[in-house]
């Protein structure tokens, strides 16, 4: 008897041989595919670079800046 716990849905199962559960250690093909999908997502994950430079925003705020020359003499 083999006892296991699905790493995806945490469902516990017991089987006589591994042949009884082809997707072992997952409880089902569905969970096996979910795990596979997560793995692929991670493998293909690309860091999102900032294409828009933050300097452009600084220029915009510089234009809006109002000169405060109201100093009392
Ligand atoms: Zn499962």
Given a cut of 80, is residue 10 above it in pLDDT?
yes
pLDDT of residue 44: 80
Interacting residues of 6 by C-beta distance below 8 A, sequence separation 6+: 12, 13, 25, 26, 27, 28, 31
Q: What are phi and psi of 18, to 5 degrees?
A: -65, -20
CA of 48 to the centre of ligand 1 (A): 31
CA of 67 to the centre of ligand 1 (A): 65
Q: Which domains does the chain have, with CATH numbers?
A: 2-43 (3.30.50.10)
- Are 40 and 49 in contact, with CB atoms under 8 Å apart? no
> Has this prediction a pTM greater than 0.75?
no
pLDDT tens-digit readout, 17-53: 999 999 999 999 999 999 999 988 888 876 767 665 5
Q: How far apart are CA 61 and CA 41, in angstroms?
A: 38
CA of 24 to the centre of ligand 1 (A): 10
């Amino acid at each position: 008897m083999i006892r296991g716990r699905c790493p995806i849905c945490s469902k516990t199962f017991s089987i006589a041989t591994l042949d009884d559960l082809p997707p072992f250690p997952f409880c089902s093909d569905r969970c096996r595919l979910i795990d596979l999908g997560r793995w692929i997502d991670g493998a293909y994950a690309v860091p999102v670079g900032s294409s828009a430079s933050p300097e452009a925003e600084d220029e915009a705020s510089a234009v809006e800046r109002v000169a405060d020359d109201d100093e009392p003499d």
